Structure 1
Amino acid sequence: MTLFGMPIETIYLILLIASGSLTILYLFFGDVLEGLGEAAGFLNPILILAFITFFSAGGYILEAVTSLNSFLIMGIAALAALLLDTILNVFVLIPMSSAEQSLSYTEKSLEGRIGTVSISIPEKGFGEVVIESYSGMISKPAASFEDVPISQGSEILVIEVKDGVLHVMPYKKNFT
């Protein structure tokens, strides 16, 4: 079959190369176009590019190895691409979008957290505190916010972070 004066295999191959190239470019520059996926709702650019890639690859392979009618091949390739696109969306893209962004933390996010003193904090000196987080234990140098000594094993409240040092005060569960 010919379409636009070219064999259908050539059109499938051009679509495959173009969609594969656009997918690679989208991987590198996708952050610039991220709002497009949000505005279009279910028309995610990744899903559209994946559908075209699956469709053109399936059509090219079926045209090359079978002697089926080209319209039947287009239908089979479209159904296979739709199925693969659905699987990609349900089992890869949706779980990735709901996953945690990162297990890392910022120093600013430590403010207001409760921890335990692992090395005593002297009146005008430094000690060490340990704060539990989702990714494990965070151990940071600490100084007393009110310049009072804090003994090892005490619970503390992080008030602020300056130059990588947590400024803490003893934590009292009931502020009475």
Structure 2
Amino acid sequence: MTIFGTPIETIYLVLLIVAGSLTILYILFGDLLHGIGEALGFLHPVLVLSFITFFSASGYIFEKVTPLSSFLIMAISAIISLILVILLNVFVLIPLSSAEESLSYTEDSLKGRVGKLIISIPENGFGEVVIDSKSGMISKPSASYDNIAIEEGKQVLIIEVKDGVLYVVPYENNRLYNEELGATTDATP
């Protein structure tokens, strides 16, 4: 079969190369065009481009391998690509979009959490705290809330967050160290 004097195999191959390239480019640089696919979730650009890619790939293969008519091959290719796009959406895109939302955190959500110093904090200086979370490790600059030195490896409690810096106090086994009293007090009320 020919369309506009061009063999259908050539059209399938050109569609495959163009749609495949655009799909890869959209996956790599899609954040620049993030809002385009938000209005209609089922018409997400990755899904549309993937449909064209799967359609053209299966159409090209069937045209080369089988003696079926071109119209039947188009119908089979459309069904195959529809099934693959539905699977891609259900098992890849939807879980990825929900995972992106669950990985985020706000600086205010760090208040009250316990972390570990990986770089000691000198008196009136800065160090670094690592916080273990469900999404991985969070490493943030830190300073002592009471302007005292805190050694590397100590557990600390995050009291305040200002300008991206965590202000912390030493924390050991549910007890806070009180510098003024020189003793530990229970952290629980």
State the TM bucket, normalised to the shorter chain: 0.7 to 0.9
Cα distance in 2 for residues equivalent to 1:7 and 1:128: 64
Note the C-alpha offset of 1:85: 0.8
Q: Which AA in structure 1 matches 2:41?
A: G
Q: Rate the CA distance shift 1:34–1:124 in 2: closer, same or farther, 3 A.
A: closer
Query: 5 Å matches for 1:42-81?
Result: 42-81=42-81
Cα distance in 2 for residues equivalent to 1:74 and 1:121: 67
Q: Rate the CA distance shift 1:149–1:172 in 2: closer, same or farther, 3 A.
A: farther
Q: Deviations over 1:70-122 (max 9, x none)?
A: 1111111110111111111111111111114686878x45752332787x989
Cα distance in 1 for residues equivalent to 2:140 and 2:96: 29
2:63/2:70 contact within 8 Å kept: yes
Using the TM superposition, name which of 88-97 and 46-55 deviates more: 88-97
Note the C-alpha offset of 1:63: 0.6
Note the C-alpha offset of 1:16: 0.9
Partner of 1:144: 145
Cα distance in 1 for residues equivalent to 2:6 and 2:33: 33
TM-score by structure 1 length?
0.73
Note the C-alpha offset of 1:25: 2.1
Q: Which AA in structure 1 matches 2:144?
A: A
Structure 2: unaligned runs, 5 residues or longer: 170-175, 177-185
Q: Deviations over 1:10-34 (max 9, x none)?
A: 1111111111121122123211211
Q: What is the SS of the residue equivalent to 2:32? A: coil
1:122/1:148 contact within 8 Å kept: yes
Cα distance in 1 for residues equivalent to 2:122 and 2:167: 12
Q: Rate the CA distance shift 1:158–1:75 in 2: closer, same or farther, 3 A.
A: same
Cα distance in 2 for residues equivalent to 1:144 and 1:51: 56
Q: Rate the CA distance shift 1:113–1:11 in 2: closer, same or farther, 3 A.
A: same
Q: CA RMSD in A?
A: 3.9
Q: What is the SS of the residue equivalent to 2:41? A: coil
TM-score by structure 2 length?
0.68
Q: What is the SS of the residue equivalent to 1:32? A: helix
Cα distance in 2 for residues equivalent to 1:35 and 1:6: 36
Q: What is the SS of the residue equivalent to 2:111? A: coil
1:129/1:142 contact within 8 Å kept: no
Tell whether 2:101 aligns with 1:96.
Answer: no
Cα distance in 1 for residues equivalent to 2:39 and 2:81: 24
Higher relative contact order (CA 8 A, sep 6+): 1
